[in-house]
Amino acid sequence: MASSALICETDAWKDLRAHVDDIKKTHLRELMSDAKRCQSMMIEFDGLLLDYSRQCATVDTFNKLNKLAEEAHLKEKINLMFNGERINSTENRSVLHVALRAPRGSVINSDGKNVVPDVWQVLDKIKEFSERVRSGAWVGATGKALTNVIAIGIGGSFLGPLFVHTALQTDPEAAQLASGRKLHFLANVDPIDVARNLTGLNPETTLVVVVSKTFTTAETMLNARTIREWISAALGPQAVAKHMVAVSTNLTLVEKFGIDPNNAFAFWDWVGGRYSVCSAVGVLPLSLQYGFAVVEKFLKGASSIDQHFHSVPFEKNLPVLLGLLSVWNVSFLGYPARAILPYSQALEKLAPHIQQVSMESNGKGVSIDGVPLPYETGEIDFGEPGTNGQHSFYQLIHQGRVIPCDFIGVVRSQQPVYLKGELVSNHDELMSNFFAQPDALAYGKTPEQLLKENVPSNLITHKTFSGNRPSLSLLLPSLNAYNIGQLLAIYEHRVAVEGFVWGINSFDQWGVELGKSLATQVRKQLHASRKKGERIEGFNFSTAALLTRYLEASKDILKEDCTVLPKM
Ligand code: F6P
């Protein structure tokens, strides 16, 4: 395939299109009765077991998907990424989040320079700083230990760290190391988020980490100025140096903000925001909470998947198989959504994180060469932990639309509970659902089965389940820091595989810009109308009417130019 040609023009794509009819004729019930097929669709790596036998696909489908991968030059693209080539061509950047978790001593080049020593320099600095804070060697302006951390950041500077923090919270080792400490996240520019974060917090014992790749993001900077004011008002402006540190690629702006550059933790433009949890973005707040040793295990888990992704043949390669299946479901079977269903409450923030990783990466309308695409890319991701989701949106998944599902289960619970006399342990109860749901989706229930059960005839159609609904099951041995790293890297690379095959740039995000610039125009208008009584100008009828109502109805608020902080 020529580099600017679209993947849909290749024979491999057309062959898969033609193959759809064969697959649509075959029910998953039939596919699942072929034990040899099912066995070939289970792979193991480093303690993980992936079962994708409940996909609407045959061995032949995978041969065809492999041809598609060849036509898309998937192997070459993966190598270009690991070799530090500037594959994010619209921003002229390389994409090297794998370097963030590379073992000390390994070599990963960007522009001919090995970046791994720089990565480890920052990791060592985080280790040292977090140990000083945790041990009480670094104290606040009034001499008190800093036991609370607020991480201010949004998007990639928030969702990944939140996911990992939430997953570690109940891990016994991590929980013990976090004893007496609390990590908070302030993301939304909504002052309610400020109020909720500050409730119960004492500035004397609080350390603030401002996390922003650019250090220009409007929400983060206003929140940072707000919290700086909260500290200054209570402890005096000189206290800021002791209570605020930063993570950014823009150290000039960090200094301008008033944070000591010695207390800034760098990362690099070859780390995309949504791929930055393994940089200081995640490593600093998580090390402050759990200690660097735990976070290092998380990095090692991610690194293990990186090596697997880079070196293992496609037919045994977890992220490649998952990525190709996603392309198959979206582009050929016509299923645009995907449900992420972890059977672990600790993974409750996995779906929100993957929403950004996946949808900001692959929700594109043009190819990497700027050619409008005649096919859709990206998945609509959503999810909730099981069993909560079962009592919410699973109705639609079972009898409404077809939504391919990722079931994620854990063999050993972080927190085992068993009540004497109960049939099973609490975790077994949870996992009974993890094992049952994929079969319910795949097999369904026929009218014949219902008749045999003497279901009244008026209810037969209501109680019928068509089945033939694809899912995959990923079983983790446990959910410690290492496994959390593995899971993260699997999803990151899966998204890259999809983008490589679709021929898009999965590493830029121009789609977020337009709304931001329109908000700037509104901000200017709000200021001019409130402060100088200027008329609303330059907006369409609808926006002008909404703005008028908003301004009129809030005239009594903030009459004077004075600082107001939450009153909770
Ligand atoms: O929403 C767009 C975006 O640029 C994301 O890609 C990024 O993760 C987020 O904003 C935050 O950006 P920053 O880290 O520069 O504050």
Residues 526 and 520: their CA atoms lie apart, in Å, by: 10
DSSP bridge pairs for 498: none
pLDDT of 3 strictly over 70:
no
The residues, ordered by sequence, that sit 6+ positions from 154 with a Cβ below 8 Å of its Cβ are 187, 188, 189, 217, 219, 220
Q: Which H/E stretch holds residue 206?
A: strand 206-211
pLDDT (0 to 100) of residue 568? 76
What atom in ligand 1 is closest to the CA of residue 248?
Answer: 14
Q: How far is the CA of 110 from the centre of ligand 1 (A)?
A: 22
- Backbone torsion region of residue 381, taken as left when φ is above 0, otherwise alpha when ψ lies between -120 and 50, otherwise beta: beta
- Say whether the peptide bond before residue 26 is cis (omega within 30 degrees of 0): no
pLDDT digits (tens, 9 = 90+) for 24-42: 999 999 999 999 999 999 9
Whether the Cβ atoms of residue 472 and residue 489 lie closer than 8 Å to each other: no
Please tell me the distance from the alpha carbon of residue 19 to that of residue 332, in angstroms, as a whole number.
9
Which atom from ligand 1 is nearest to the alpha carbon of 276? 8
How far does residue 510's CA lie from ligand 1's centre (Å)?
11
CA 77 to CA 540: how far, in whole Å?
A: 45
Pocket of ligand 1 (CB under 6 A): 154-157, 212-214, 217, 220, 273-274, 360, 509, 512
Q: Helix or strand or coil: residue 176?
A: helix
Q: Output the residue whose Cα is nearest ligand 1's atom 2.
A: 512
Instruction: Report CA torsion sign: 203, 207, 211, 215.
Output: positive
Say if CB 379 and CB 359 are below 8 A apart: yes
360 is catalytic: yes
Report the pLDDT value the prediction gives residue 138, as an integer from 0 to 100.
98
pLDDT tens for each residue of 373-406: 999 999 999 999 999 999 999 999 999 999 999 9
Among 217, 359, 505, name the best residue to mutate to test ligand 1's pocket (greatest count of ligand atoms within 8 A of Cβ): 217
What is residue 193's predicted lDDT score, i.e. its pLDDT?
98
By three-state DSSP, how is residue 492 classified? helix
Q: Across residues 472-479, what is the average pLDDT?
A: 98
**Global model pTM greater than 0.75:** yes
Q: Does position 123 have pLDDT exceeding 60, yes or no?
A: yes
Residue of the nearest CA to atom 3 in ligand 1? 155
pLDDT for residue 558 is more than 80: no
Burial class of 270 by CB neighbour count within 10 A (0 to 12, 13 to 18, 19+): buried
Give 242 Cα–ligand 1 centroid separation in angstroms: 26
User: Which of 189, 214, 216, 364 most suits a substitution to test ligand 1, by most atoms within 8 Å of the C-beta?
Assistant: 214
Please tell me which residue in 360, 379, 492, 498 is annotated as part of the active site. Answer: 360
* Helix ranges (DSSP H) in 503-561: 513-532, 541-553
Rounded to the nearest 10°, the torsion over CA 430, 436, 442, 447 is -130
Question: Which atom of ligand 1 lies closest to the CA of 220?
Answer: 16
| pLDDT range class, residue 69, cuts 50, 70, 90 | very high
Q: Catalytic one among 256, 391, 524, 527? A: 391
- The answer on pLDDT for 489 being more than 80 is yes
516 belongs to the catalytic site: yes
Concatenate the DSSP letters of all residues of 329-375 into one string: IIIIS---EEEEEES-GGGTTHHHHHIIIIIIHH--SB-TTSPBPSS
- Whose alpha carbon is nearest atom 9 of ligand 1? 155
pLDDT bucket at 2, cuts 50 / 70 / 90? low
104 alpha carbon – ligand 1 mean position (Å):
28
Give yes or no: 229 in active site: no
d(CA 559, CA 555): 8
Q: Are 341 and 438 in contact (CB under 8 A)?
A: no
Strands (E), 115-164: 148-152
Beta-ladder partners of 186: 152
Average pLDDT of span 89-94: 97
Distance (Å) of CA 201 to CA 188, 191, 238, 349: 18, 16, 19, 24
What mean pLDDT is predicted for residues 270-274?
98
Angstrom distance (rounded) from CA 102 to CA 510: 29
Q: Which residues contact 475 (CB under 8 A, 6 or more apart)?
A: 48, 49, 50, 51, 409, 410, 411
